[in-house]
Amino acid sequence: MNDVIKLLKSHRSIRKYSDREVDQKMLETLIEAGQSAATSSFIQACTVIKVADPESRKKLCECAAGQEYVVKAPVFLVFCADMQRHQLACEMHKAHMLSGYTEQFLTASLDCALFAQNVLIGAESMGLGGCYIGAIRNRIGEVDKLLGLPEFVYPLFGLCLGYPAQDPEVKPRLPLSIVFKQERYSDDDDTALIREYDETVRRYYKTRTGDIKDNSWSEQISEMLVKESRPHMLSFLQSKGYLLK
């Protein structure tokens, strides 16, 4: 196993950080690494906003269900899917951009996710740790206003970065046979494999929390998916010029 694969397989979410600052040049290098990610048809539809102002961080923390590491992390980035510059490119050539397509939403969101993953992997290779913050979408309208985002730009998630002050275990993933299929989606019933995986996850949580959390993967998923999942997202995205067609 080479060093790159070892790094990828050792990913943990880091939520506690030392007081050591992250050098701005290092951060710029990581953003450049993000720019090197694959991009659909070369659209390059990602903009990253570094938020350092304490009051802005506090507001973002409130929007993100009070996750305190949004305030405490040395670096907090917000990754935005961005097709505003594409409208500008069309205007430069006196062309009318056809907007509102679901495919544009998908390509912009995927571009942004690929960009962000490059940033996090690069950060981990340099001794940093991080944690994605999808909860900024809980109150996405407020985040949108705080960051001053124009039409065709929407915030997807945040990313805390810093030097780790904790050393959590790697969280066990689903068995390979469940997620890696050959030729076509199989008709096999994965229930037995999921039950085995449930016990692995239960042991992980009990070890990590000192027997406080006793929960399996399927229990966690079943509890999550019986609740509404940010129903405000559709109207918000439509207000930004997406998911209209």
Contacts by residues 26-32 (CB-CB < 8 Å, ≥ 24 positions apart): 26/126, 27/75, 27/161, 29/122, 30/119, 30/122, 30/123, 30/126, 31/119
Distance CA 73, CA 215 (A): 28
Please report, rounded to a whole number, the percentage of residues in the chain having pLDDT higher than 70. 100
Residue 214 has pLDDT above 80, yes or no: yes
**What topology does CATH give the domain 3-169?**
NADH Oxidase (3.40.109)
pLDDT level of residue 95 (50, 70, 90 thresholds): very high
DSSP alpha helices (H): ranges in 68-155? 69-72, 84-92, 102-125, 140-147
Residue 188 pLDDT = 84
Distance CA 177, CA 158 (A): 31
Mean pLDDT of 214-235: 95
Convert the pLDDT of each residue in 22-41 to its tens digit.
Answer: 999 999 999 999 999 999 99
Distance CA 19, CA 126 (A): 16
Q: Is the dihedral of CA 203, 209, 215, 218 positive or negative?
A: negative
Look up residue 93 and give its DSSP letter: T
Please report, rounded to a whole number, the percentage of residues in the chain having pLDDT higher than 90. 94
Domain with CATH 3.40.109.10 in the chain: 3-169
Convert the pLDDT of each residue in 150-169 to its tens digit.
Answer: 999 999 999 999 999 999 99
Residue 208 pLDDT = 81
Q: Which residue has the higher pLDDT, 165 or 206?
A: 165
Residue 171 pLDDT = 95
What's the whole-model pTM score? 0.95
Residue 209 has pLDDT above 80, yes or no: no
Q: Is the dihedral of CA 226, 139, 22, 24 positive or negative?
A: positive
Residue 223 pLDDT = 95
**Across all residues in the chain, what is the average pLDDT?**
96
Residue 211 has pLDDT above 90, yes or no: no
pLDDT level of residue 212 (50, 70, 90 thresholds): confident
β-bridge pairing 46-50 and 129-133: unpaired
Mean pLDDT of 47-72: 98
CB 87 within 8 A of CB 113: no
Distance CA 14, CA 164 (A): 6
* Residue 51 CA: distances (Å) to CA of 61, 116, 122, 160: 12, 16, 20, 10
